[in-house]
Amino acid sequence: MTTSGNDGSTVGDVLDPVGPLPASVYWRRRAVAVGGALLALLAVLGLTTWLLVPGGSDLPADRAAHSTPDDRAAAPPKPKPKPEQDPARLAAQTPLPTPTGPGAPPGTAGSSPGPATPNAGPGDETVRPDDTPRPSVPVPDAVASPPTGPVPCGDGMIEVRAETGRPTYAAGARPELRLVVTNTSGQPCVRDLDGAEQEIAVWSGDGERKLWSSNDCVNPATEDLRTLVPGQPVAFAVTWSGLGSEPGCAAGRERVGPGGYRVLARLGAVVGEPVPLLLT
């Protein structure tokens, strides 16, 4: 048998240890010792690599924070609250489309789907009910009326808009202008559509001057208490003579010449957006 050294131990003694304990105990001890040595070697290699490779450890802690875009800077500004409705402000600030050629209409916004008859209607300028068919408008989900009946229509529950019989009229014609009120809430409500509360007006193209008002020469107070159905428009019309006016109509009235104008409609304190009217 081959010996290893002068102590009399053999290779078999090394590979197959003997002692008072079972052999598995000695093999487990050897495995733990070898594993510990490997872990120590890996730790030394990792530390050496970290020391030799320059870079990331010298990066300031706040560098990443400065390189990240600020999401708050990209957020859109909060919308400003709408100013109170004022006819003069609306007439002046609403852009008036520019005709592209002789007699070209400035657009169809506010035009009624009804027939265009420039000289139809009475010779005076009295505002009258208009039954031109109109589609309903979207409203919120229906709300049941209280047991006492429909509530009064507050200003925030209705929408007022102006319409023209057509966007363009020849000079000397009598344009048909309309006021349309719609209950835009989700429940029926009651509103007095008194003639004295209604107004249809023609403003200059720059919005600086009111040229004519349906209340200047004829302003009858007519009690007209109605229950407005949500989404169902109610309209009134007037045949404008094409003449300017002042409150009371005491002064002489001159014909309004060709050009672009704005038409506004009002019910009480609720004023609709202007719509264009072109006289050629």
Which residues are CB-neighbours of 200 under 8 A, at least 6 positions away?
127, 162, 177, 178, 179, 213, 214, 236, 238, 240, 263, 264, 265, 266
CA atoms of 99 and 95, how far apart (whole Å) = 13
Domain spans in the chain, listed from the N-terminal domain onward: 1-77, 87-279
Segment 147-153 mean pLDDT: 93
Amino acid code (one letter) for 134: R
Q: For the domain made up of 87-279, give the CATH fold.
A: Immunoglobulin-like (2.60.40)
pTM for the full predicted model: 0.59
Number of separate helices (H) and strands (E) present in the chain? 6, 13
Residue range 4-49, pLDDT digits in tens: 445 555 545 555 655 666 766 666 777 767 667 777 777 767 666 6
3-state secondary structure of 177: strand
Residue entry with tokens 């052999």? 23
Q: Is 271 helix (H, G, I), strand (E, B) or coil?
A: strand
Q: Which of 71-75, 91-95, 156-160 has the highest mean pLDDT?
A: 156-160
